[in-house]
Amino acid sequence: MSSNGTGNTAIVAVSKPGAELARRLASTLPDSQLHLERRAGESAGNDARLYDLPLRPVLQDLFETCDALVVFLPIGAAVRLLAPVLGTKKQDPAVVCVDDAGRYAISVLSGHVGGADALAHRVAAAIGAQPIVTSASDALGVTAVDLVGRESGWRIEATPTDLTRAAAAVVNGRPVALWLDTDTRVPWPQDAPLSDNIVIVDTLIDTADPYYDAALLVSDRLLSSNTARPTVTYRPPTLVAGIGCRRGVTMEHIRRLLTDTLRDRGLSLQSLAKIATIDIKADEPGIISLADSLEVPLEIYSGAELNAIASQRDSAPTDHHGMNLPTPSAAQDLLGVFGVSEPAALLAAGTNRLLIPRTKSDRATVSVTRIANRPINSN
Cα angle: 19, vertex 21, 23; to 5 degrees: 70
Percent of the chain with pLDDT over 90: 66
Q: In what order do the strands lie in the sheet with 176-180?
A: 155-157, 231-235, 214-218, 176-180, 198-201
Mean pLDDT within 364-373:
90
Q: Report the C-alpha gap between 278 and 242 in whole angstroms.
A: 9
What backbone torsions phi and psi does residue 57 show, to the nearest 5 degrees?
A: -65, -35
Of all residues in the chain, the percent with pLDDT exceeding 70 is 86
Contact assessment for residue 26 and residue 37, using Cβ atoms and an 8 Å cutoff: no
Q: Please answer whether residues 117 and 107 qualify as being in contact, where contact means their C-beta atoms are separated by less than 8 angstroms.
A: yes
Give the list of residues 6+ apart from residue 302 with CB closer than 8 angstroms, or none: 278, 279
Highest mean predicted confidence (pLDDT) among 84-88, 315-319, 337-341, 362-366: 362-366
pLDDT, position 114: 81
Task: Tell which residue, 312, 336, 250, has the closest CA to residue 287.
Answer: 250
pLDDT of 318? 47
User: What integer is the mean pLDDT of 255-271?
Assistant: 97
Q: Give the per-residue pLDDT at 323.
A: 46
Closest CA to 371 of 339, 340, 346, 341: 346
Query: What is the rounded (10 degree) CA torsion for 69, 146, 256, 224?
Result: -170
Cis bond upstream, residue 54 (ω within 30)? yes
Q: What is the mean pLDDT of the chain?
A: 86
Per the model's pLDDT, the better-predicted residue between 1 and 233 turns out to be 233
Rounded CA separation 110/350 (Å)? 37
For residues 346-368, average pLDDT: 93
At 269-322, the pLDDT tens digits run: 999 999 999 999 999 999 999 999 999 999 999 999 998 886 665 445 444 344
**Residue 100 · residue 75 · CB < 8 Å:** no
Q: What is the pTM of this model?
A: 0.74
Q: What is the pLDDT of residue 333?
A: 46
Spatial contact of 299 and 326, defined as CB atoms under 8 Å apart: no
C-alpha–C-alpha distance, residues 309 and 248, integer Å: 27
pLDDT greater at residue 179 or residue 315: 179
Kindly indicate the confidence band of residue 5, based on its pLDDT and cuts at 50, 70 and 90.
very low
- The C-alpha atoms of residue 236 and residue 63 are separated, in whole angstroms, by 31
Q: How confident is the model at residue 9 (pLDDT cuts 50, 70, 90)?
A: very high
Average pLDDT over residues 151-157: 92
Whether 229 has a pLDDT exceeding 60, the answer reads yes
Q: Alpha-carbon distance 339 to 336, whole Å?
A: 9
C-alpha closest to that of 98 among 82, 120, 81? 120
Query: Could you give the 3-state DSSP secondary structure of residue 337?
Result: coil
**Residues 185, 295, 358, 285: what is their CA dihedral angle, to the nearest 10 degrees?**
-170
